[in-house]
Amino acid sequence: MAAAQDLKTPISMSFSHHSPFKPSPPFPPRTQTHSPLIITTLPRIQVHRPPPSLSISRRLFLPSVSGIWDALTGGNNPREAVSAIRRGMLLFRQGDVAGSLAEFDKAIELNPRQKAYLWQRGLSLYYLDRFKEGAEQFRIDVAQNPNDTEESIWCFLCEAQLFGVDEARKQFLEVGRDPRPVMLEAYSMFKDGGDPEKLVAAFSNGRENDYFYASLYAGLYYESQNKTEEAKHHILAAYQSLYGQRSDDYMASLAKVHCICRNWESA
């Protein structure tokens, strides 16, 4: 997910090249916050990288059609809902996962249409071990956008915790082809099984955002297999990568939050 421009009134529509088909509500942009971070020092994993090429992620904010209509018509408290989503995302970035969920739920209460687009809520539910609700959120999201690779993977991650990997794979959400090679490979690995080490190796000398995503999803794959040490190694690598440290991508913040929730900051 790189730096996004501020969203100002009137609402404008912009589209990320990573997921051209995904509408989403008029969420606030992913600008860098200056709130105190919970993590102080994490162990450094030395990776010799080529000069970074930070590119915009699929998850830059895209206004939804329903959200724009509500903003124009004044229906269902859209401004208050957007404010709640903004607060929820900020709280998540700061490591307050429970607080973020409370704000996302408040946004849905203010404007129920938002639920179909609140993938951020699904991520918060995962880290609160509320896997059934998380899987439901991601399935709703994919129903709105059948080309969303990452929500399909996160649904699998929730259901793997509920039913085990084999059963979760039987009900894996199939989606359209992701234009990002790294996510195309990650999707195939989760759907059919594969080697996370090969995923990371394939993108270790490429663009910095590709290396970040390969490392993050390699670690998440290991977590679904209950291989804690391997998961820790790769997610720490994602967090400590140049993209993980410099990008405003929400998933870069997620890598940090993952380390907080697993108590890896003092490892």
The owner of tokens 């995923």 is 199
Q: What pLDDT sits at residue 59?
A: 53
Residue 74, pLDDT score:
45
Residue 69: predicted pLDDT? 46
Q: What is the pLDDT of residue 78?
A: 87
| Rg from Cα positions in the chain | 17
Q: Which pLDDT does position 76 carry in this prediction?
A: 54
* pLDDT tens digits, one per residue of 177-219: 999 999 999 999 999 999 999 999 999 999 999 999 999 999 9
The answer to whether residues 77 and 109 touch, using CB atoms and an 8 Å cutoff, is no
Instruction: Centre a 10 Å sphere on the Cβ of residue 45 and count the other Cβ atoms it contains.
Output: 14
Please check whether residue 200 is in contact with residue 216, taking contact to mean a CB–CB distance below 8 angstroms.
Answer: no
Q: Is 63 helix (H, G, I), strand (E, B) or coil?
A: coil
Tokens of 46: 């030395």
Tokens of residue 146, six digits? 């059948």
Dmax (CA) of the chain: 53
pLDDT for the residue numbered 73 = 41
Q: How far is CA 22 from CA 18, 136, 207, in A?
A: 9, 18, 24
* pLDDT single digits (tens) 255-265: 999 999 999 97
Sites in the chain below the pLDDT cut of 70: 1-76, 266-267
First to last CA, the chain: 27
